[in-house]
Chain A
Amino acid sequence: MSRVGFALAVHELSERIRDRWVLVISALFALLASGVSLYGRIAEADVAALTGPSLVTLTALLVPLVAMVLSHDAIVGERDRNTLGLLLSLPVSRIEVVAAKYVGRSLALALAVVVGLGAAMAVSGPAGVRTLLALMGPTLLLGLSFLSLGMLISACTRRQVTAASVVVVAWFLLVFFYDLALLGILVISDGAVSQQVISSLVVANPAGLFRVQMMQAFAGPELLRNLGMTTALPGFAALCLLWGAWLLLPCAVSGLLLTREKVT
């Protein structure tokens, strides 16, 4: 990364720290995660049965929204403030501008997740700590995927308010509607669409992939088999490829879109 790219990434991170975004999101994660962990501890519930799945549900809902809100103004915000031209007049390529913004905001998100979940570990029992530790990596992957998607939304829209609206719609579609739609297809098709296709479609969505991955981690393959989703979780290489694609592709497309743009 060039000097400009590095400066921009640091600037993005420090701005998120300065405007207390990292602090607020860390506190939110810490509050919710420690709440669930404490409840599991008090209820002396089985991690696999209560704490783990509850945290997974909570994370799958919250993290995508937080990540997309974090990145939705990355490019369109510069357009709105009429500073995009000024930024791109610096000796740096447009792809690097997108990459630097992504890296800076990724670090902010990672910091919020690590601090938030780390704080929750302090009040959790040993089982809770293990659950939170297992949750950390996939949560970051989930967050960075949706952060990348937010960058794409930011590059495609002309106004920040439009980008914010698209983020809410995208969150609703990918986190709520997607699974329901697949369930609907499964029921309506009456077996015409195989379960394997449905399972593959589930993991094609990063929110679905996260849920399946974490369910397997907490409940084991047995529970997934009972749910008829044993084929859903791909092998390690395919898993890396899937996460890699979600992490990089939307961001790369944003860079290409910006490269082709006439900055007015």
Chain B
Amino acid sequence: MANFNKNLLTTSVGVGLATGFYGISFGALSSAAGLDLWQTMALSLLMFSGGSQFAFVAIAAGGSPALAAAITSAWLLGIRNGFYSVRMVPILKVFGAKKLAAAMLTIDESMAVGTAQELEEDQRRGFWWTGMAVYVFWNAATFVGALVGQSLGSPEQWGLDAAAAAAFVGLIWPRLRERQALIVAAIALGVATFVSPYVPAGMPVLLAGGVAVLFGVFNWFGVRGRDEVAAVETATGESRP
């Protein structure tokens, strides 16, 4: 490989390790939510999108009536990956099976490392290396976490129910920089919490999503006169470098 970029490889593997590592918490929480080892692994291998996976197991813990809402929530949380795909198309220039593989590896981290590089060659390498590193480590860590989770027994006993809530605090944090996002988060949290005694399991989260649609359509508390690129950057959360 010409112009082999060792620093970029180190970055990619480093991001893969760091991100993959918290696959342990996903595996443990998925077990605590009642999914077995292979169901947990299937989520990491096939869904491969942290936010959607955490949401799916959290809602699916509500039992079979909540599964439709679990699917819908996971799906809606995956929307940001679509925006990453849009951004990667002109950089990757791939077709056929390679394009399908690239789509699979399109997540916060691969997009972030890829687009942070200056040379187009490095942008492509950064994307592929980071995507593959995260995929490998995320799945390995999920496996370990699921085994640990299975041996722990009741989720409440070890505070795993608190860990599940904490996971979403960590995931939402980088997206709360703007006033509009903060307001939507506060209202959505309140709506989901206070409607839960009155609607079936799974519904509260979807109603929280309705808050986003309302604020998005009417742009309440939004910044006026932003161009399209800025809007898309908000959508993709300008994730951590």
Q: Do A and B come from one complex?
A: no
B interface residues, Cβ below 8 angstroms from A:
none
